[in-house]
Structure formats: C-alpha cells, structure tokens
A and B are shown apart, each in its own frame.
Chain A
Amino acid sequence: MDFAFFLGCTIPLKQPNLEKAFRDVCSILGINLKEMAGASCCPEPVSLQSLNIDTWLTLGARNLAIAEKMGMDVMTICSGCYETLKTVSVLLGEDPGHKAKINDILKKIKYEYRGDINVLHMVELFSQPQWLDKIKQSLVKPLDDFTFAVHYGCHLIRPSKIMRFDHPEKPERIDTILKTLGARTINFATKLECCGYCARLQDEIGEKLVEDKMTELCELEEDVDALIAVCPACVSQYDRKEKLIARRTGKEMNIPVLYLPEIMAVALGVALEDLNLTQRSVKPDKLIEKLTT
C-alpha cells in the first residue's frame, strides 16, 4: 500500500528518531511511504489558523495538492498535521465557493486542490482490522508483561464532526493497537485530558495538566511501564515537563513517555539500540531492562 508521507516539522527536524521508528514499522508491515517533495509546514494549527485563516487554508491546500498530484492518500504522524490537513479538506469540501477562492491563489503558483484524496493519521491505518492482523502475524517480541497508559491527545479525535475517526469521549483505537502487541492498557481518570502544549500564553497551564496526569499514574496500584502518545508535541510536553516538575517538587515520577511507533517497532523486532529510546529527559531505563531480560 502506497502513501504520500507528510513529515511535518517537529518530527523530522527535532525528533527524527520518532520518524525512524515509524519508517521501520512501515517497512516491516509492507507500507510504502513516498516522499512529498516541496511540502511545507502543515501549517501549524495554533498560530497560523489564529492569525489568518486563509493563509492557513491555502498553505494546507497547497500541501494536499502535492499529494493529489502523486495520486495517493496522505499519511500523517503528528496530530497537529493531521488536524490541519483534515480540517482543510473538510472545510473546503463543504464550501466550494471558498475552495474556488483558495484555488485562485494556488493557480498563480501552478497548484490546484481538487479535494479527491483522504488524510490519514498513522493510528487510523494501524487500527484497521487487516493491519491489526498483519501486526499480529509480524510480532517478534510480544509485550505480554507490559502495562501502558494511553494518551490520545486532543487533535486526533476532536472535533469529531471533522476528524470522524474515533469516539471523542471514549476512544479505543490506540488501546486496540497496543493490545494487539500483547500489552495491557489501563483506564484512568485523566486519560483524556489535554497535554497543554498548545496553551502557549501561560506555561503554568501545561505544567498543571502534566502534573495531574503523572501524579495519577504514579498513584495507581499497578505499575505503568510507559505513557504512550501519538503526537510529537504531547511526547515532548510530558517528557520535558515531567522532569521539570520532579526537580521543582522533589516528586520522583519516572514514567517514560514513548511514541506509539517506538513501542510497535520494539514488538516487531527492531533492535533497541537502533531506536535511541534514551534520547529524552525521562530515561526509560526500567522499561529497557524489562525488555532485555
């Protein structure tokens, strides 16, 4: 299966080891990723949409037009990219007049956005029955002894009238993928709380949200091996803030944060040393030890 692979910015430029894990998983499963030459930032939904909606829509449509020319659906690996590209496709699909206006601009730089491809998030693909089967068949190291907490984040599932992807208040597609790897996932009160990364104006909002979630995970009766997220913003937010809070409060939390493809890669047999799992603030030493014994 071929996809136009939309890289975005944060993963390829700041956390390329996450991109590596995703590419490894795809090559094991037989998913072909085609590079989108000339693609820009999605663009970022927080600031650009806020300052000028038409700039946001036009830049997004330009990226989609590149994939249309390749004749493939778009695969995203960041929830921000997914939100932008999917929202652009839905809004312009519902408003042909506005689409024409955007195309008037795009035509001048020789692009055209027709609106005939789909935008997918990696979770959407991996959780389809045929890919779950494929994952099961390809398991090298089932994660039977592992318990994970899942962080869905906001932009993957909401607003559901646009994302149309999973239940907005009771999502389960990431849990399903992890269970297919053999792991257990837990339910917890703050499971669907925002990571706070996009609340840019006040840092304390993010800190409080991270502290609440991590404190709850630490106080649970069973040990949680890692928090699993599917967006680079959520991953870095929890990882960095968790360390900061530990330093400030003296509370040792030590729950590592992994990106879903990283743990998938482990289960599918990618060597640990190829994944650079220690390149983060909260080192997953215990997890690595458990994986190697």
Chain B
Amino acid sequence: MSQRLRKQAVELDKNFRYEISQKIGAKSLLKCIQCGVCSSGCTVTEYVDLQPHRIVASCLLGLKEEVLSSQAIWTCSLCHRCTERCPKNVDYSFILALLRSMAAQEGRIPKEYSSSVITILENGFVIPYSEGMKKNIDKRRARLGLPEISGPNQNEIEFIYEETGLKELIKKTEVGK
C-alpha cells in the first residue's frame, strides 16, 4: 500500500465497520480516536504494510478489500500491547483475529495458520499424536514416569468443526489449492 489510494465515496463498504462490531468482543472498534498509541507500542510495527491505527481507520472507512488482503493482519504476534494501552479500550488484537477469520472466509489463509488447524482436527492436539509419533511420545513419557494421555474423542472434535463451519472452510480452501 505504498502508492496513494484513491477511492470515491460510493466505492467504500460502509457496512464493514458494523460487520466487525457486531461480532462477539468487537464492539469497541467504533470508539477509536486515531491517537496512534497502538502503533507506537506494536511489536511488529516495522514489519507491516498497514500499522494498527491505519487498519482501524481503514475498517471504519470501509476499505474492506484493502484490510482483508493486507499482510499486516497475519503478521501480528498477538502480544496484546495495543489492546492494553488503548485509551479508548479498543480491543485491537481481538478485532484483528476477527479480521483474519473474515479473510479466511474468503479463502485467504496463509499455510502457517491452516496447518495447525488441520493438525488439531486430525489429532485433537496441535502436535501430531498418532501411530509412530504416539508410540515415541508415550515411550518418552513412560520413561519420565508421567501418566498416560487420554486424549479426546476425535468424533467430538470433528463435530464441533462441522457445526461451527470450520470443516467446510477447510474443505473449500483445500479444493481451491
């Protein structure tokens, strides 16, 4: 986003701000006063194409495409300093996670994120825990005198993925690959 962006008022998605603010935990978006505290304390501020305060401004303006296609929403390290320091109590890091999920709905998911979601679906844990891997881990635990792990019923995990729509999203994006 280094070149200047010009858009007519009619090209803005005026509903975008409410699309975000109606979701759980995200009402605070509308309170931003553009002071920039979030960006000044941001851990990844020098690595992003849009700094936190500019992401919020873009959401409020209705620059949906620009926000959801930015690399900034995925670069964040979730250190939560922005949320902590905001004088207007905007939950920026939480809103950022919502923006990621909106981008994901459109099929834009970096593989660094999709792979762990699939591992959890297949193992119940974010680390592969089946067959040979399981055997090695169990052996190592037994050597340390640690109790056996009784993991979750895989069907329950899969059911929750299905009911909340994540299963379908994974299928959709895998097909799209």
Q: List the A residue with the shortest CB-CB distance to B110.
A: A201
B175 contacts partner chain A, Cβ-Cβ < 8 Å? no
Q: List the A residue with the shortest CB-CB distance to B76.
A: A199
A276 and B144 alpha carbons, distance in the complex (Å): 10
Residues of chain A at interface, number, CB under 8 A:
61
Contact B141 A59 (CB under 8 A): no
Contact A41 B80 (CB under 8 A): no
* Residue numbers in A under 8 Å from B79 (CB-CB): 154, 158, 194, 198
How many Cβ-Cβ contacts under 8 Å join chain A to chain B?
178
Known contacts: A35-B150, A108-B163. The answer to whether A52 contacts B104 by CB under 8 A is: yes
Known contacts: A9-B127, A41-B124. The answer to whether A52 contacts B101 by CB under 8 A is: yes
B117 contacts partner chain A, Cβ-Cβ < 8 Å? yes
Known contacts: A9-B126, A158-B81. The answer to whether A51 contacts B43 by CB under 8 A is: no
A109 and B160 alpha carbons, distance in the complex (Å): 9
Contact A109 B101 (CB under 8 A): no
Give the segment of A10-18, A120-128, A242-250 that binds chain B.
A10-18
Contact with B along A40-58 (1 / 0, CB 8 A): 1101111111111111011
User: Residues of A with Cβ closer than 8 Å to B?
Assistant: 7, 9-10, 12-14, 16-17, 19-20, 23, 35, 37-41, 43-55, 57-59, 62, 91, 95, 98, 105, 108-109, 154-155, 158-161, 168-169, 193-194, 196-202, 204-205, 209, 276
User: Residues of B with Cβ closer than 8 Å to A?
Assistant: 23-25, 43-44, 47, 71, 74-81, 83-84, 89, 91, 93-94, 97-98, 100-101, 104, 109-110, 112-114, 116-117, 120, 124-127, 129, 137, 140-141, 144-147, 149-153, 156-157, 159-161, 163-166, 169
Q: Please provide the 5 A-B residue pairs with the shortest distance between their CB atoms, ordered closest to farther.
A: A199-B77, A158-B80, A50-B100, A40-B152, A194-B79
